[in-house]
Structure 1
Amino acid sequence: MIRTGDQYRESIRGSREIYINGERVTDVTTHPQFKPLVDLRARLYDAQFEENSKDILTYTENGETSAIGYKLPYSQTDWWAKRRATDHLMTQAGGVVSRIGDETVGEMWSLFDAADVLNNIDPQFAKNIDAHVRNVINGDPFQVSANTDPKGDRSKPPQDQDPDMLLHVVKETDAGIIVRGAKFETAAAYANQAFTKPTIANWGSEEMSDYAIGFICDLNAPNLKFICRSGFAGRAPAEDYPLANKFDEIDALVIFDDVLVPWEDVLFYRQTKVAKFMRASLHRYTAFAFVQRILKYTDMLIGAALFNVRQTGLDKLQGVQDKLSALACYREGINAHLTASIALAEKSPAGLMMPNQSLMYAGRVTACSKLPEMVHIARELCGGQICVTPDAATFRNPETKPWLDKYYSINKEWLAEDRRRLLAFARDLLNSDYAGHHLSFQTFAQSPNFAQLATIYQNFNWDGPLAFVKQAAGLSDTVMGEHSMTPKNSAASSWFSPDFASHTAETSMG
């Protein structure tokens, strides 16, 4: 039920058509820009078998062992276990990895919640969703998310421009559907499968559409092409850029050049109502893992900044302590939202345990909207030396080493080599190409801030403050009338409202 690292590597070898830096990749497991993340993902697979990790990362049910990250959450205990497993994996990795599968599988749980509605529309697709949720638990694949299309001119519907700007069905066959178009997907070139779905927010009055398609894509399928951005690994020595050389998760434009999707892999088709709900509830579960990763990234910001000010003796200054406190408040704000979202978790329509939606989404806005500010505070605390320090080779050169030892050693505890290592880490964390890419990804990966705020508007319980002021001000019973603002997607209300979906649809990165 759980796989080894070598089994994972073998599953992604073969005839994939992958391009990077203008060249075709012959083996994604050995190519220098993919190998670091392939090795890291393989390492995390192997950790599931190790004595110090297996009880944290796996669970056993009916004699079969599976990954905690893929377990359907039916209780608060399940969420505490998932949080503990993610923390352990990031500690094992020595950094933050955005895409390893646990943070994307929750998108399918949102459709799992819609089983009753889907059964009324087309029972075969509801059956497919249940099967694929079980397949993930049983097969331990590396699953990623395929959301964002090239889109083209967003002022025009797809039918009024090149129709391939949005992924769509071009043909139905007995074996399945033929799809054409493209998606941007992070880590797709070295993953096993992708949950592929539309990003259209407003379908208008259209009830049926060839663009309303959701399916599980086997990333070994024929006629897929992966055109990747240039990676950061290998551009400079790992000792100078330790994060870029280990944690760069390659993004790809995945071309669907008339790809066959078997009927058993189709989760919904030509149902805009389902597509609306899917977009509105896409991050109902996955936002938790996404925000938890920002929490771990914040620990890196704090650690790098605090080491630097303690090295240089600046930690005793009130102004420096204020900035450190700002980082701590940001960190604990994220932590509080994650913790409270479990403590006040809600039952979903399918009986799953959802993190408290209002608290979780508020935590996501806090984490994403303030992240650029926190990165800059960490830059200020790390100082200007992160952008002027020579590379490791210069520190070793016999002609320059004595001078660098002299000027980079601070005291008997902090000698030049440790100082260099910290400054190199901080530079890669805060100032490098990798750092800028990571900041952009975290800011937009689960939709831009305005869409995140719209999600909060639809999930916050406005009735509580209204009722309190109504009582305190002595307002008449008629003032609230039929204008209750109870969240439409709460477990006790009309969670499948098309109006709700159209207002909260989120445009996220792949």
Structure 2
Amino acid sequence: MIRTGEEYKASIRDSRAVYMNGERIKDVTAHPSFQPLIDIRARIYDLQHDPATRHLMTYREDGEVHAINNKLPFSQQDWWDKRRATDTVLEDIGGVVTRVGDETVGEMWSLFDGQDVLNEVDPQFSKNIRNHIFKVLHTDPFHVSANTDPKGDRSKAPQDQDPDMLLHVVKETDAGIIVRGAKYETAAAYANQAFTKPTIANWGDAAYSDYAVGFICDLSSPGLKFICRTGFAGRAPIDDYPLSNRFDEVDTLVIFDNVLIPWENVLFYRHTKAAVFIRATLHRYSAFAFVQRNLKLADMLIGAALFNVRQTGLEKQQAVQEKLSRLAIYREGINAHLTAAIALPERSPGGLMMPNQSLLYTGRVLACSQLHEMMHIARELCGGQICVTPDKAAFDDAETGPWLDKFYTINDQWVADDRRRLLAFARDLLNSDYAGHRLTFQLFAQSAPFAHLAAVYRNFDWDGPLDFVRRSAGLSRKVLDAKGGRTGDRAVSQWFGQVRDAAE
């Protein structure tokens, strides 16, 4: 039951309390800071109906049409379809947006895999998970994610500081739980619901905690307040900042002021083991769509840099080619990890098909940890003119325009207007406030770098290299029992096993 763009817009014209720059926003769909992303999200809904793209964006099951990116992944083909659908969106809008649903809905599938763990708390929670996954398929909401808190003093346990610093349950009622605290949620001010879960907390030895809670929050619920950072859209003309004005995803501090969460929306509660499990497995699906954005961002870096060196005749210089090659290696490294993660999938504990976890998480580290370096290489290739070129108004001015036209026209192929557009694009991609914000967002959006590396450590197949060295060095098999490697039925483990069996 896929929605249209207008139906989505109507769903967020409610009484929610949204604030920006000290002003209460009456209608987010009409506000210049929110409208560009709301229009993009509406366009994604409309792509599901467009005759030219609906076969790429949707699938039919039991007589109903659903969004491909909401589909539970049971096969390898499901992941090829999801990758193609996301590419369709990014190509259509001409840029990169991250928190539009296809990434964040995947976090729910990790809960689907963790039903056995959650059943230790209350079997009702497993039922709630299944119901909400079904609801997402059949109502097609704009679903976002609430991860991080205002933090507070992380050397202390949550209960040993201001109790509201981290989101927690203050009361149980027949209708549900009452929660207080705050969460940062990108796109919350213009979304329908959020999967809200605990941050990486210091649980100590506690088996139970009122802070160990996860739920689906209806973002039109009474008691919520949305305090948004100032948007980049509208600060300067779109001709001078084409990315800032179109693709800024507004981040929001969501205040939970005694908000009722109905029991049917509670996914886990109090059990710290459940909270730890969810944090450890949260991105086993959603990381794919997140890393796929970096691939498109790498294309933008390459395109901006290559156009700049070509128009100034520098492409044939060896030093320039080497820098372009480094950008290409970065791009293809991400591409290889995404492709291999689908080509060597793994069956999850809940019976879903996961992208290969080791390859997916190492690809995420590659994409995020090298992004700043790749941006700097692109800056070098674009040259200093991206930071000194006048804005469009100077090119249009009767007095200054002819001079700029003279000095910015290179040849018949590169006239002043095209060169100005390219330099403005590169400036916004690499040097603007938006560019710096996006770099930080990509670094921390799913989790901090140390958590990225921890995910690699938990999912890499240590047994294969250990067994190879054991045999090469002539060690006995019992040395492998001293400390076990990664456990589980993994595709790469199976491959190592086949090689070992053939060798022996």
For normalisation by structure 2, the TM-score amounts to: 0.96
Contact kept, 8 Å, 2:212 with 2:275, in 1: the verdict is yes
Aligned partner of 1:286 in structure 2 is: 286
Once residues 201 and 480 of structure 1 are traced to their aligned partners in structure 2, the CA distance between those partners, rounded to angstroms, is 33
Residues 1:140 and 2:135 are matched in the alignment: no
CA contact (8 A) 2:344 2:492 kept: no
Give deviations 1:377-398, integer Å, cap 9, x for gaps: 0010000000011111110111
Q: 1:489 to 1:346 in 2, by over 3 A?
A: closer
On the 8 A contact 2:337/2:360 being kept in 1, the answer is yes
Q: Aligned residue for 1:390?
A: 390
User: What secondary structure sits across from 2:134 in the alignment?
Assistant: helix
Structure 1 window deviating more from structure 2 (198-207 vs 440-449): it is 198-207
How far off is 1:489 after superposition? 9.0
The 10-residue stretch of structure 1 (6-15 or 447-456) with the greater mean CA deviation from structure 2: 447-456
Contact map agreement 2:105 2:286 (CA 8 A) in 1: yes
Partner of 1:18: 18
1:288 is aligned with what amino acid? Answer: F
Provide the C-alpha distance between the structure 1 equivalents of 2:68 and 2:135, rounded to a whole number of angstroms.
Answer: 14
Deviation of 1:238 (Å): 0.3
253 and 489 in structure 1: CA distance in 2 versus 1, 3 angstrom threshold = farther
User: For 1:13-40, what per-residue CA distance to the aligned partner results, in whole angstroms no more than 9, with x for missing partners?
Assistant: 1111000011110100001111111111
Asked if structure 1 preserves the Cα contact closer than 8 Å seen for 2:215 and 2:265, the reply is: yes
SS at 1:99 equivalent: coil
Task: Find the counterpart in structure 1 of residue 446 from structure 2.
Answer: 446
Partner residue, 2:422: 422
What does 1:103-252 correspond to in 2, within 5 Å? Answer: 103-252=103-252
What is the number of equivalent residue pairs in this alignment? 493
1:409–1:419 Cα contact (<8 Å) kept: yes
Paired residue secondary structure (1:210)? strand
- Contact 1:348/1:491 (CA < 8 Å) preserved in 2? no
* Corresponding residue number in structure 2 for 1:472: 472
The whole-number CA distance in structure 1 between the counterparts of 2:207 and 2:481 is: 32
- Specify the alignment match of 1:375 in structure 2: 375
Q: Distance in 2 between matches of 1:274 and 1:127?
A: 15
User: Secondary structure, in 3 states, of the residue corresponding to 2:307?
Assistant: helix
- Give yes or no for contact 2:121–2:268 (8 Å, CA) kept in 1: no
**1:300-348 deviation line (CA, Å, top 9, x unaligned):** 0000000110010100100000000000000000000000000000000
Task: Give SS of 1:126's match.
Answer: helix
**Which position in structure 1 is the counterpart of 2:320?**
320
- Which SS does the other structure have where 1:270 is aligned? strand
Assess if the C-alpha contact under 8 Å between 2:461 and 2:492 holds in 1: no
For 1:486 and 1:15, locate their aligned partners in 2 and report how far apart those are by CA, in whole Å.
50
Name the counterpart of 2:458.
Answer: 458
Question: How far, CA to CA, are the matches of 2:488 and 2:455 in structure 1?
Answer: 11
| Deviations 1:247-296, CA, capped at 9 Å, x for gaps | 00000000000000000000011111111100000001011000000101
Equivalent position of 2:400 in the other structure: 400
Partner of residue 38, structure 1 = 38
Deviates more, 1:39-48 or 1:423-432: 39-48
Contact between 1:47 and 1:54, CA under 8 Å: does it hold in 2?
yes
Residues in 1 aligned to 2:488 and 2:171: alpha-carbon distance in whole angstroms: 36
8 Å CA contact 1:145, 1:185 repeated in 2: yes
Cα displacement (A) at 1:488: 6.2
Contact 1:460 1:487 in 2 (8 A): no
Provide the residue aligned with 2:59 in structure 1: 59
Query: Who is 2:363 aligned against?
Result: 363
Q: CA RMSD in A?
A: 1.3
Amino acid at match of 1:256: F
Q: Is the Cα–Cα contact under 8 Å of residues 201 and 279 in structure 1 kept in the other structure? A: no
Distance 1:477 1:44, change over 3 A: closer
Contact 2:69 2:85 in 1 (8 A): yes
> Unpaired runs of 5+ in structure 2?
494-504
Contact 1:37 1:248 in 2 (8 A): yes
Aligned to 1:497: none
User: In 2, Cα distance between the equivalents of 1:450 and 1:110?
Assistant: 21
C-alpha distance in 1, partners of 2:127/2:352? 17
Shift of 1:491: 9.4
Percent identity over paired residues: 71
Please give the alpha-carbon distance, in whole angstroms, between the structure 2 residues aligned to 1:376 and 1:489: 41
The one-letter amino acid paired with 2:391 is D
Any conservation in 2 of the 1:33–1:233 contact (CA below 8 Å)? yes
- For residue 298 of structure 2, what is the aligned residue in structure 1? 298
Looking at structure 2, the residues matched to 263 and 25 of structure 1 have their Cα atoms a distance apart, in angstroms, of 30
Which position in structure 1 is the counterpart of 2:502?
none
Q: Post-superposition shift, 1:239?
A: 0.5
State the alpha-carbon separation in 1 of the partners of residues 252 and 477 from structure 2: 57
1:120, CA displacement in angstroms?
4.0
Q: Do 1:458 and 1:488's aligned partners in 2 also have CA atoms closer than 8 Å?
A: no
TM-score, normalised relative to structure 1: 0.95
Match for residue 497 of structure 2? none
Report the residue type matching 1:354 in the other structure.
M
Matches within 5 A, 1:309-348: 309-348=309-348
Instruction: Name the SS for the 1:29 alignment partner.
Output: helix
Shift of 1:477: 2.7
Counting only pairs closer than 5 Å after superposition, residues 483-502 of structure 1 correspond to structure 2 as 483-487=483-487
What amino acid is aligned across from residue 44 of structure 1 in structure 2?
I
**Superimposed CA distance per residue, residues 174-218 of structure 1 (whole angstroms, 9 cap, x where no aligned partner):** 111100000001000000000000013442221111101000000
Distance 1:67 1:4 in 2: 12
